[in-house]
Amino acid sequence: MTRDNRLFKAQVNRLLTLIEDQGEAALGSEAGLAASLEASRTTVRAVLSHLHDQGVIAWDGRDKRLLRAPEPGDFFDTDQTRSTQDLIRDRFLEWVLQGDVAPGTVLNETRLARQFDLPLAGLREFLIRFEPFGLIEKQPNRHWLLKGFTPDFAAEMFEVRRLFETRALTRLIAEPDPALTQRLTGLRADHLAVTAGGRRAALEFPALDARFHALLCDGARNRFVSDFSRTISIIVHYHYLWTKKDEADRNRHAAAEHLAIIDAILAGDAQAAQDALARHLDTAWHTLSTSVDWQARGQV
Amino acid sequence: MTRDNRLFKAQVNRLLTLIEDQGEAALGSEAGLAASLEASRTTVRAVLSHLHDQGVIAWDGRDKRLLRAPEPGDFFDTDQTRSTQDLIRDRFLEWVLQGDVAPGTVLNETRLARQFDLPLAGLREFLIRFEPFGLIEKQPNRHWLLKGFTPDFAAEMFEVRRLFETRALTRLIAEPDPALTQRLTGLRADHLAVTAGGRRAALEFPALDARFHALLCDGARNRFVSDFSRTISIIVHYHYLWTKKDEADRNRHAAAEHLAIIDAILAGDAQAAQDALARHLDTAWHTLSTSVDWQARGQV
DNA sequence: GTTCGGTTCTTTTTATATAAAGAACCATAA
DNA sequence: TTATGGTTCTTTATATAAAAAGAACCGAAC
C-alpha cells in the first residue's frame, strides 16, 4: 500500500460512535454524513461500504438501515486512526525529551522512520516543521543535528514567553473579549476543582496549564503570539514527563497562582493581574530551570 | 536524473574563481580544497575530474597543474548553482508578493513545481517551512491555501516587531557587546554614506534596513527574536518591490531615523534610543500599512 | 427544482528506485 | 609516522508510480 487510510479508519470509528449514540438516525444522506464527519463524500462512501460489508448496516442507494449494534471488534485501533503527524510528533518528542539522546546526536531520517515505524516523508515533514523550534538543525546534503534542550534554549524561550504573555494580559484587560471572558470563567471553575481536589486532581494540572497559557496568549489577538504559545506548550508538556518530584504540590501551587491571575483579569484590575502573572512566571521559570540544569548535567 | 548536481556546479565555479585569483597555488591537496570550498572530498574530486576533462588542469594523483586560464565558458550559469531552496523562495515570494495572486487562492503543489520548474519535493519543503510565517496554510489531505498579506497579518507582524525590538534595544544598551558595537559603528558609516549620497545611494537602503534591524534583534541575544527578524526582513524586502513611490525620499528619511537610534545607542542613552526607535517604528508602520491598504484594495 | 447518489477526474500522500553528496577505510608516498 | 588519494559504503535529494482522499459532474429520485 502506498498511502495508509488512517482517515478512513478514523471515520469508521466516528460513524460507529454516532450510531451508538443516535441509532439509525445517524445515517443521513451522504453529503450530510460528510459534513458531520468532516471528510469528503468519497471517504464517507468508503466507510458506508465497509460497514455494509461488516454487516453493521444495510446500504443500497438512499436506503440505509441499521442491522445490528456496533461491537468493540468493529472499531479500529486508536493507533491506526491518529494522523501521522500526531504520531510522529509524540514519538519523536518522547524520544528526545526523555533525555536518552545527547545533544549533538546526528539524526538519520531513514533510521528514525524505521525506529518509529512511520513514513519517511511524514517524518521529514515533521522535522522541517519542527526545526524553527530550535531543538534540531538541518545540515543540507548531510543530516539533521539534535541541538538539545540546553539551558540557553530554555532561557530564551522563556524570555519570549514573558514578553508575549505580559503583552497579551495588557490587551486582555484593556480590550475585554466576551468569548475569552467566557472561556476564562470556565477555566476558573476547572482550576477550583483542581485546587480543592486531592492528589489525583492535581495530576490533571498539565492540561489545565496548557489551556490557561493558550487562552492568555489568545488574548493578544495576534497569530504569532498564539503560535508561539502552541510551541511552548508542546515543550512544557513533554517537560512534565521529567520532573515528577513534588509534582502534586507544585501543581496545586501553580493552580493557585493561575487563579490569582484569572480573578484579577475578571475584576479588571490590570496592576494586580500583571503582578500575579510576574509571580507565576517566576515560579514556572524556577521549576523549569532547575529541571533543565539537572537535565544538562545528566547529559554532559 | 534523480537529483541535480547544483553543489558540484557551484563548486566548479568557486574553484575556477580561486584559480583566477591565485593561479596554480589554488590547487592544494584534495582535503585542503574540500575545506576551502566547504564541500566533501567526493565533490571536490568530481570537480577536479571535470576541470581535467575540460583541459583546464592536468590531474594525476598528487600532481595537479594548471594548463590554461579559466574562460567564461568554463563557468556554469548562476541559476544552475544556487540552492533549490533559494530559487524556490525567490520565485514563490516574487509570485505571491507581486500581488497578482488573490488571498484565498488554492495552491497546487504539482502545478507550482511545474510553474517554477523546480523539484516538487523541494517546493513542499519550502511550503512547510514557510507556513509558520502565516502567509499560507496547509489543509491536510486537501491543498495549500494562500491567506494573503492582509492588513491584519501586517499589523500583527508589526506588533511583534515592536515588542522584540524594544526589548532588544533595552538589552543592547544595558549589556553592551563589543562585537555588536563594532558592527554598529560600521553600519553607522554606511548610513552616513546613504544620507549624504544622492538618489542612487538612497536606493541601496533596503539592504541597509535589513542589516540594521537584524543587528538590533541580535542585541536581544535570543534565537527566537533573531529568527523572527529574519522572517520579517524577507517580508519587508519583498514589500519594497511594491511601493516605488517617493522611494528615495522615504529611504533618506528612514536612514536619518536609523542614525538617531544608532547614535543614542553608542552614547548609551537608553531613553533617547527608545524614543528614536518608537518614532522610527511609527514611520515604518505608516509606510507599510498605507501600502498594505492599497494592496488589499487592489485584491478585493 | 432541489437533493441525493453514482461516477469520474484531480490532488495529496507514501513507497520505491536512483543519482549526488558525504563519510570512512585503507594503502601508499612523502 | 603522517598526509594524501583511491575506493567503497552510507545517506540525502529527487523522480516516478500507485493508493487514498477530495472535487466535480450529471442523471435520477424526491
Question: Is the CB atom of residue B226 positioned under 7 angstroms from any atom of strand C?
Answer: no
Task: For residue range B165-206, list pLDDT tens digits in order.
Answer: 999 999 999 999 999 999 999 999 999 888 887 666 666 788
Task: For residue range B200-235, list pLDDT tens digits in order.
Answer: 666 678 888 889 999 999 999 998 999 888 878 877
Task: For residue range B271-292, list pLDDT tens digits in order.
Answer: 999 999 999 999 999 888 877 6
Q: Which domains can be identified in chain B, with CATH numbers?
A: 6-78 (1.10.10.10), 86-146 (1.10.10.10), 151-299 (1.20.120.530)
The sign of the torsion formed by the CA atoms of B106, B239, B226, B151 equals negative
> In angstroms, how far apart are the furthest CA atoms of chain A?
67
B149 Cβ under 8 Å from any chain A Cβ: no
Report the nucleotide nearest the CA of residue B41, measured to C1': C22
- Residues in chain A with CB shorter than 8 Å from the CB of B227 are 132, 134
Question: Is the CB atom of residue B109 positioned under 7 angstroms from any atom of strand C?
Answer: yes
Would you say the pTM of this structure is higher than 0.85? Answer: no
Q: Supply the pLDDT for residue A84.
A: 87
> In angstroms, how far apart are the furthest CA atoms of chain B?
67
Q: Which of A5, A109, A133, A222 to mutate to test the interface with B (most CBs of B within 10 A)?
A: A222
The Cα A208–Cα A16 span in angstroms is: 30
Where is average pLDDT lowest: A23-27, A95-99, A181-185, A213-217?
A95-99
What percent of chain A has a predicted confidence (pLDDT) above 90? 53
Average pLDDT over residues B56-68: 93
Query: Which grid cell is A256?
Result: 493557585
Residue B97: is its pLDDT beyond 90?
no
Å separating the CA of residue B32 from the C1' of nucleotide D2: 15
Task: For residue range A64-96, list pLDDT tens digits in order.
Answer: 999 999 999 999 999 899 888 888 888 888 888
Q: Read off the DSSP letter of residue A132.
A: G
The Cα A258–Cα A213 span in angstroms is: 9
Å separating the CA of residue B17 from the C1' of nucleotide C18: 32
Question: Is the CB atom of residue B271 positioned under 7 angstroms from any atom of strand C?
Answer: no
Ramachandran angles phi, psi of B57, nearest 5°: -130, 160
Query: Between A and B, how many CB-CB pairs are < 8 A?
Result: 59
How many CA atoms does the CB half-sphere of B285 hold within 13 Å? Answer: 18
Question: Is the CB atom of residue B164 positioned under 7 angstroms from any atom of strand C?
Answer: no
The SS3 of residue B45 is: helix
